[in-house]
Chains A and B, each alone.
Chain A
Amino acid sequence: MERVGFFTDTSVCIGCKACEVACKEWNHVPSDGQGFLGSSYDNSGELGADRWRHVAFIEQKLPVGVEGGAPDSFVQEAARQNLVEEGLDPHTDEDGFRWLMSSDVCKHCTEAGCLDACPTGSIFRTEFGTVVVQEDICNGCGYCVVSCPFGVLDQREEDGRVWKCTLCYDRLQGDMEPACAQACPTDSIQFGELDELRERAAERVEVLHERGRSEARLYGESPDDGVGGFGAFFLLLDEPETYRLPPDPVVPTRNAGTVWKSAAAAAATMAAGIAIGVLGGRR
């Protein structure tokens, strides 16, 4: 079975949140309560136990390079005047403005920190190369939560177990594409075999660079990164941290050698110290 995954091309994301909705519907992901976050059009915050796709909205004051925009209408001009009179700082086209939108998801890492950390074997790699939590085995220990470099997994309060994107494991078994990819109206979320997605992504970056969008870059497509490459990678238009993504994620397992060596050395030192302290002072 070929490894499958997502290529999320954020340059064509329009922030419609159809992916969030489709994911919730198909996977019966419960509501996590709606609130007003004051983060642009983002009122769902981040990925978690009850949110397996999350659309980020980033507002930036950057010139977008569009020349000769439409002239302001009288209504717009009046509205702007109104803001100035109220002492507010209205946005003008000269400031430049850019909106970044991006649909985040579990990365289905090649070297998955959650899978390595899981003490029950609940988290496993499927025949599609994806990473899935088996809910009947998860015991809610929460170790995967602190082992994910992306902060994807979280505990659901009602049952104490952890939940995350399954890359629609059930749909894959039925030969269907994941709900989010199917719902995406601009093909910002593309589903397919990972090798093919990587080729497609490389071509897309090239096209954007040719059009002068030099800030376009791939994130997580390389098998040489700290998690061995993502199963769900991205095309971004700014630094990863702008999108709440770690700039250079490393799976904790890569440090396991140092971790165990120092724990063993400390244990040996402690045992030796106690032995000397007790046996050395023998009468």
Chain B
Amino acid sequence: MVPREKPTTYYGRPIVKPPVWKPEIPFYFFFGGLAGASAVLASAATFADRPELARRAWAGAFVGVTVSPLLLIKDLGKPMRFLNMLRVFKVTSPMNVGAWLLLANGGATSLAAGLNVLNEKRRAGAPELAAAALGAPLATYTAALVTHSAIPAWSEARREMPFVFAAGATASAAGAALLTVPAEEAEPARHLGIAAAIAEEATTAVMHKRLGPLADSYEKGKAGAFGKAARALTAAGAFALAAGDEAVPLRLGKRRRRTLTVAGGALLLAGSVCKRWSVFKAGFQSAEDPTQVIHTQREGGD
């Protein structure tokens, strides 16, 4: 619903088609982000000589790169169809680039995670660097995937969406690590989790502001509900993490702090899942409203 004189439409029918993507896709956005950011976190932790944190982050990255292709394959319906994606390398198709990226990162991450299991005191080397270098784009290309489209609320968010996804991915990676990391090595993940929660809130605010009337797609309907849930969960997660911090002068025992930290991590993960669902649903809502296409093209979105 764009606040302008009601434009003429053809019986209110959509101009662009809504996506045909199934629920696997928003979950893939989440797991891809978790995998990518976890690989970066794990490599950094390996460099920083924090073996406990590194081990958890490699586990998160490995789970991410294992679950991601399974979700994509399930969405396609027939497993063999995934291979069709690998018969070409095509830079004009973010989906094709993403498939190769996922494959390459999956290889590097699995190798680095495997080496880490074999030798926990291992110094970071080529596999770790490769996993990190391929992990960061893996976390943000999914934003490019949706903004490189004809759907107004996605396309017009092309400048900001990758930053929202980057923040969400970082929150997921930190959240996942915090579920099991021992207190003495939790600090960096805790700080990252809090910072990412703030960054997600800030980048989302900028995105909605720049979208103008198109932001309705993110703020109303199911997308709006998921967005609100994401916001509440992420904020609660950040507060729980802050409360569990030793530097915060709350009279809490070790066990309480530990509980707060684990809860905070879980809340960040849940918030990140909801956020991807919000973005996913916004695409449908935008496509179904023909006035958004007309508004963007008539008023010159940019």
Contact = CB atoms under 8 A, between A and B. Distances in A.
Contacts, number: 231
14 contacts: A117-B93, A118-B93, A122-B84, A145-B19, A146-B16, A147-B150, A148-B16, A151-B15, A247-B297, A256-B148, A266-B140, A266-B166, A267-B140, A270-B140
Interface residues of A, number: 72
B192 A273 contact: yes
Nearest to A280: B188
Contacts of A270: 37, 40, 136, 139-140, 166-167, 169-170
A243 B154 CA distance: 24
Nearest to B165: A266
Given A146-B283, A279-B44, A266 B163 contact: yes
A277 B188 contact: yes
Contacts of A120: 84-85, 87-88, 96
A127 interface: no
Interface in B118-150: 132, 136-137, 139-141, 143-150
Interface in A230-281: 238-239, 241-250, 252-253, 255-256, 258-260, 262-271, 273-275, 277-279, 281
Contacts of B85: 119-120, 139, 141
Nearest to B142: A263
Contacts of A265: 162-163
A275 B150 contact: no
Given A119-B99, A278-B45, A268 B87 contact: no
Nearest to A154: B17
B166 A143 contact: no
Interface in B169-201: 169-170, 173, 187-188, 191-192, 195-196, 199
B86 to A, nearest CB: 9
Interface of B: 7-11, 13-17, 19-21, 37, 40-41, 44-45, 47-50, 53, 75-78, 81-82, 84-85, 87-88, 90, 92-96, 99, 132, 136-137, 139-141, 143-151, 154-155, 158-163, 165-167, 169-170, 173, 187-188, 191-192, 195-196, 199, 283, 287, 290, 293-294, 297-298
B128 to A, nearest CB: 12
A249 to B, nearest CB: 7
Contacts of A154: 17, 20
Contacts of B145: 143
A28 interface: no
Nearest to B146: A146
B8 A259 contact: no
By Cβ-Cβ distance, the 3 closest A-B pairs, closest first, are: A244-B10, A266-B162, A119-B96
Contact of A263 (B50, B137, B167): B137
Interface of A: 37, 39, 42, 45-46, 48, 56, 58, 113, 116-122, 137-143, 145-155, 160, 238-239, 241-250, 252-253, 255-256, 258-260, 262-271, 273-275, 277-279, 281-282
Contacts of B141: 263, 267
Contact of B149 (A252, A277, A279): A252
Contacts of B166: 266-267, 269-270
Is chain B's interface secondary structure helix, strand, loop, or mixed overall? helix
A255 B237 CA distance: 36
A58 B9 CA distance: 10
Contacts of B48: 278-279, 282
B294 A268 contact: no
B192 A277 contact: yes
Given A139-B82, A271-B132, A273-B192, A278 B170 contact: no
Given A265-B162, A266-B163, A151 B37 contact: no
A147 B92 CA distance: 12
A190 B168 CA distance: 52
B41 A141 contact: no
A275 to B, nearest CB: 5
Given A120-B87, A266-B162, A273-B195, A259 B148 contact: yes
Contacts of B19: 142, 145-146
Given A264-B137, A274-B44, A278-B48, A241 B290 contact: yes
Contact of A267 (B49, B77, B137, B154): B137
A149 B150 contact: yes
A215 to B, nearest CB: 13
